[in-house]
Amino acid sequence: MSKRGMMVEGKPLRADARRNRDALISKGREIFAAGDESVRFDDFANLAGVGTGTLYRHFPTRESLAAAVYEAEVSTLCELARTLRNALPAGEALTTMLRRWVDHVDADHTLARRLAALLTAAPDQMVRGGRELEQAIAELVADGVGAGVVRDDVPAGAVMMALHGIGAAHDRPEWRAEADSVITLIIDGLARRP
């Protein structure tokens, strides 16, 4: 989780407050991913095992909880990119990240759509999250360029555009197979030829 989620008005959260906040985010993620719009916002507190006052202290609206869930999703993907950069050779780290991105979209497409719908009033949050994700991809691409295995004429933004296109096409009947094929095309297109 990002440091933004561990602070309130510039002060670090106490351990119990952080646990309660994390429990709310986890339950929010679960409910949003299920696409269950019948759950009243007050019910999130009981389902997360905290009081209603705790819910409203951390998240005064459903949208603020959705923003925290989105931030946690972005943080998870960025952390994955950092882990892969440290664990694998440059080209392999990028390839693995692109394939894991598809896994993530496949597992969480309902969540992504629900969060996008809830965050229409908070476009800055979506833009900031998009920049963080693009930076994570840019670092992987730059590592590949530096190692001589990735072309230096394809910007990370083009890779992100392709990833967004893959996610947006999730309703296609053969989506998973086609998404894997598109990732193969991206990887082949990024490869530096001798």
Phi-psi region of 106 (alpha: psi -120 to 50; beta: other; left: phi over 0): alpha
CATH code of the domain covering residue 148: 1.10.357.10
**Average pLDDT for the chain:** 89
Number of structural domains in the chain:
1
Name the pTM for this structure.
Answer: 0.84
Domain of 160, in residue numbers: 3-190
pLDDT in tens, 108-123: 888 888 888 777 766 7
Residues linked to residue 191 through DSSP beta bridges, in sequence order: 150
Phi-psi region of 148 (alpha: psi -120 to 50; beta: other; left: phi over 0): left
pLDDT in tens, 1-25: 444 455 555 567 788 888 999 999 9
pLDDT in tens, 30-42: 999 988 888 999 9
